[in-house]
Chains A and B, each alone.
Chain A
Amino acid sequence: MTGTLGKDLLGLEALTGEQIRLILDTAEPFKEISERAIKKVPALRGSTIVNLFFENSTRTRISFEFAEKRLSADTVNVSASGSSVSKGETLVDTARNLEAMRIDMVVIRHSASGAAKFLADRIQSNVINAGDGTHEHPTQGLLDILTLRDRFGDLKGRRICICGDILHSRVARSNIWGLTKLGAEVAVCGPRSLLPNAIDEFGVRIFDRVEEAIEWAEALNVLRLQFERMTAGYIPSAREYNRVFGITRERLDRAKRDILILHPGPMNRGVEIDSDVADGPHSVILDQVTNGVAIRMAVLYLLAGGKPELAEAAKGGSARGREDKD
């Protein structure tokens, strides 16, 4: 089934600003469901969704699962270990087997860039990319943008800096695409060894020093520093990273204005971000997590063919059945 977003959500690169706004707007009414005592609406009743996680994930997987369950979908979780994947099954065979079971949607997390598209090209089910290698993580980008919009309203002209390991970050790519499409001014800041060499061509501002980024930005999206970057020789140590690039209270105190702090998690406290910043008054890190469920509900609903203008009403009805009733 194909809705206003097309068959799949593979990345924010392929979406228009209008489509992104549509997802954000659709997420708004879904936020309320999670605040109810009975957190369940029948929008996806009868739909079967497979969460196919080839890479470890706690937050994203749970967030998707809650989103699916709160929309009344039937879900199955498959992780790479313990499945036939660990017995050497190829991705294409996994895809064909899922297809043969007539599932409606697949949420895929995979360590290879392009894996979600690979799957989407080969099966008729809707595919949602929950992170493919170092390519994109569109629902994370969307929930970051929703969180920023909650605080800023229109993002046009707002200054947002993404800090840290841009080179290996799918979150960074989705944020850059999404934010620029909504008219925000985007910057990146990190050691040059963790920025793509072609970063100039992304149409973003580049700060070599985090102090400059803090002076410029209205919000910082602080990325997690993977520890394998040290062993691979990209940077010398976590300690020096914190001293040169860490988002610390001290650095933020010198800023002229309050700066909103985002982090996609999981955090390395004391490395890329200090605890008093993460837990401080300008941190919206837990709001991101809350918004993650609403965004994923919106994406699931829209891909299932749900009509955006009926999202409010869908809280009491079924997305997949709705077209017949109209």
Chain B
Amino acid sequence: MKPICLRGGTLVDPSQRLNEVGDLLIVDGALAETGRAIQPPDDAEVIDCDGLIVSPGFIDVHCHLREPGREDVETIATGARAAAAGGFTSVCAMPNTDPVTDNQAAVGFIVRQAQRAQAARVYPIGAISVGQEGKVLAEFGEMVGAGAIAVSDDGKPVASAHLMRTALEYARTFKIPVIDHCEEPTLSAGGSMNEGIVSAQLGLKGIPAEAEEIMVIRDILLARLTGGHVHLAHMSTKGSVELIRWGKDRGINVTAEACPHHLSLTEERVRGYDTNAKMNPPLRTAKDVEALREAVKDGTIDLVATDHAPHHYDEKEREFADAPNGIVGLETALAVIVTNLVEKGYLSFSDLVDRMSCTPARLFKLPGGSLKRGAAADVTVFDPKARWRVDSSQFASKGRNSPYNGMTLVGRAACTIVAGSVVYRSGIAVPQREAREQINRATS
């Protein structure tokens, strides 16, 4: 492995309050040195980072890679490459696969596929309950042993308060967070967008904010009861922010994430019945967006996660109420956050790196999240000023379902380095190791 010297970028690493122009040297897959005018070894690859930001690699704790089960819409390899193209060095894959990732063998499969992909790191999230059925606890211990870093029943909300309580208690042994998709199912049943004036006018059944908030406060209270770590996925409402603030003020072990789409788009986007504006939780109101932005700024919402959810275009090309929920997000997340939170003054670039790298690493106990000497050489280099027009047909992901398609955004990954290897460089073909290996295997 050749050493890499990232030359002359702005090093931004809130984990050590670093924010200055300098060089970064990577040797043997680890961060060797930061400083000015570093003399790299003779065999080092020197990458000019003038005008770019060099930060610890982004970590997405919430994405859907669809393998096993729906390899037609995404695979671990395409998902990991999409992640790399978006500046993510690590992503956590939700367990709503087919079969469900609810046992050590299934977890091990994802770990192996991720190794073969050789792009972003992929960490499996195991299911809370067997088959995500909300009845019997899955084997957290064995799944953690095989590589799972958290548990969640993902889009199937844990309806039973008893099961949620037990999961929070049992997870304490393994020191993993329990991630909940907060949705009171009887209140949200049949809904396909936010409940409000727009849903009333469009004649679509709405999902009230309270469907989320009821479960947010339930989970916070159960975290208080159990001492377990509850991580609330994709928060979408002002009320949820207020409840999380209430919980954090009392020292309850609750953390939360918000998604780029909930930080940038409102329910108005659903007018015209665009199914790429359909996700769960749904796009809410401008007031909610504002509250979420403030919460990401003040830390009430700890981190940004994508909820990357690829779907086949046929599945989205249909009646709104019948279309599946979700959008792809890995390749637009950085730009959406720069455009909507940095350029609008909510976050500094240092804050952005904290919410997209340092905090996810810390809360989920993952390698990365720092440029300190000796840390894993997971590094993202991005152009904070690049203006680009989103063209979903060019995504590395198999998914094309993006509400940002055609929009001009600011900020783009230039180079993504995982464990000291460049896995993505903008405009330059990524080394297709997987393809190369396959050729090698075929010819040997």
Which residues from chain A sit less than 8 Å from chain B, CB to CB? 13, 90-92, 110, 112-115, 117-118, 132-136, 170, 173, 196-199, 201-202
Contacts and interface: CB of A to CB of B under 8 A. Distances in A.
Interface string B294-331: 00000000000000000000100111111000000000
A170 B203 CA distance: 7
B196 A197 contact: yes
Given A90-B314, A197-B208, 14 more contacts: A90-B317, A90-B318, A91-B319, A110-B319, A112-B320, A112-B321, A113-B321, A114-B203, A118-B319, A134-B204, A135-B203, A170-B203, A201-B197, A202-B197
Contact of B196 (A92, A110, A114, A198): A198
B351 interface: no
Interface residues of B, number: 21
Contacts of A136: 203
19 contacts: A90-B314, A91-B318, A112-B321, A113-B203, A114-B204, A114-B273, A114-B321, A118-B273, A118-B318, A118-B320, A134-B204, A135-B202, A197-B206, A197-B208, A198-B195, A198-B200, A202-B197, A202-B200, A202-B201
A133 B203 contact: yes
Contacts of B203: 113-114, 132-136, 170, 173
Contact of A197 (B200, B314, B317, B321): B200
Interface string B373-395: 00000000000000000000000
A114 B320 contact: yes
A113 B200 contact: no
B322 A112 contact: yes
Q: Which 7 pairs from chain A and chain B are nearest by CB?
A: A135-B203, A114-B273, A112-B319, A196-B200, A134-B203, A113-B203, A198-B197
Contacts of A197: 195-196, 200, 206, 208
Contacts, number: 65
Q: B196, B197, B206: which has the most chain A beta carbons within 10 Å?
A: B197
B320 A113 contact: yes
A190 to B, nearest CB: 14
B345 interface: no
A89 to B, nearest CB: 11
Nearest to B203: A135
Contacts of A170: 203
Interface string B203-230: 1111010000000000000000000000
Contacts of B202: 113-114, 135
B207 to A, nearest CB: 12
Query: Which among B204, B208, B314 has the highest number of chain A CB atoms within 10 Å?
Result: B204
